[in-house]
Structure 1
Amino acid sequence: MLKQYLRELPEVLATNRVSQILIAIYQYAPAGLRPELARSALLLLPDESRLALQTLLSFLAEVAAAADVNQMTAHNLAVCLAPTLLSMTSQRSASVSPRRTRRAGLPDQRELDENKAAHECLTALIRQAESLFRVPAGLLALCRFSALDVSQPVGLSELGTEEQPRSWRAYWRLVERLAEDAEVLQYVEAAAGPRPTVQYCVLRAWRTDLPRGACCLVETSVEHPDAPAAASSRRGVVLASRYLVEPCGAGKSRLTHYSRVEQGGCSPEWYSRVYGHECARVLAALRASFRHEADGPESRV
């Protein structure tokens, strides 16, 4: 089923462009440089593809770790999955069909070399799955980020001197109560697969006395001495978050959510294509948490 799903993708999970780079690395680059070159090549993937590939490789590494029971070593897994994860010249077709067909006749030496490199590449990616998606500190040191790129939260005393959401919280704790309607909250969002959790520390305040029975909740990230970031988590930054709840009759309410969040490690394209769906998922979970599921007769409220 997994192979069928991967075959039906419009493009291979590693994308055609990055597949060519990875295969070339394992064809021509010295063996000692291949892991670092492969790690750099994976940074070129779209965020959605990279995150999905990271989860898949982590799963395959767990399968390979039980090879004494299931006989599926990293090499055997690569033989099965390389044609569906990496795009090779012999598989490319001008057809619009998502299925990639093989040319008739015996493969030439170039195709054999390319297939061998693809299998070696995927074998290495499975074996290095745990460290493959960690950017080396030396490479980060060479980057030059603007203040906007870094997205550092401000201290409580600085709040209001510059403009500064949330997702479904897996774990949270109250850091400090500032007033009856304001507090500092720390929470962690659990990430899917092998990716680290994202930790937030926010100042949030609310109003329940708005016209027509509406209420609102606002949040922004702050630094707090009693809420240090855990070493195993990424620090996320809530640049701005606004929830507005308005009653609309018959026991129903309308929720409007404005959010600007920096989760760390994602490109602007990811926020344009994916983050809106993440927000929709969170709001759907929030609505479901209020669903009435009593066994007896329900009354209108």
Structure 2
Amino acid sequence: MSSLTIRAVSTDADYEAWRSVRLAVYPYERTATLAELKSRASADRQLFVVERDGVLVAAGGLIPSSIGGTGSVAPWVLPDFRRQGIGAELLAYLVGEARRRGFPAASGNADDAGSAAFAERYGFVEVDRQVEQVRAIGDEPAAVAPLGVSLVTVAERPELWREAYEPLGLPGVADMAVSAPMKVSLAEWEDEWLGEPSATFLAIDDATGDLIGTAGLILDTDQTDRAENAFTTVRRDWRGRGVASAVKRATLHWAANKGLREVYTWTQRGNADMRRLNEYLGYATRTISVRLEQTL
């Protein structure tokens, strides 16, 4: 009987194999580049490739989640090898690793009913949902900032992204409507939360010089005509005054100038305000993703 081999990613070829599985499973989402995966590699971030008789059939990962301190598990099986028990074996392996490492719970996301039902069969329960909204790019006008507000890019003022961590990053993350408290370190903020610097806009209060808002884009090297919205937030005392609309319109104008076809974004189920803003700006809902957890 053929058996599965689950092994940790170690070589560039392994990383590319891992990427190929994720691209096949999530063609509508951006996948991290080889350089990004290698730069973020650590003992805490475990990536795996799965082979059967030397043939790549699946991939997965166990990564600490910024939500609730859980271990985020991702069992992905290539379409041609599904319904053969591979996903169940890989999921059991990842959950076992999460338990061994002392995570209080394992968590994961399912973007379709079949995947959610699969997770529930193995003890996962729904705790939250995320909504994907997509925006086709056309002839986008330049953004107009509210009176007394200026917009700059991180490419123009790179030092401002680190400075934005405390006034924008920490409170913005705290306000995210997630199922458990979310934590983002300064190192993560400077690396994983920064999109393309020339497409990451910061709003500045002209009177005080304070940073009051941000929005950006993360480019996709595999599908270069699309981008994902990066973190969007506005300082609490400036909300409802047109800042969020201005910084997001700035990203759409940038996307149009670069010839992008679409941008997409994810918001939590409880973040109705951001979804309404996106709808006002022309975004439409495409995918509902279910977040599931299993207490270990």
Give the TM-score, by structure 2 length. 0.25
More helix per residue: 1
Q: Which has the higher contact order (CA 8 A, sep 6+)?
A: 2
Radius of gyration: which is bigger? 1
Q: Which has the higher strand share?
A: 2
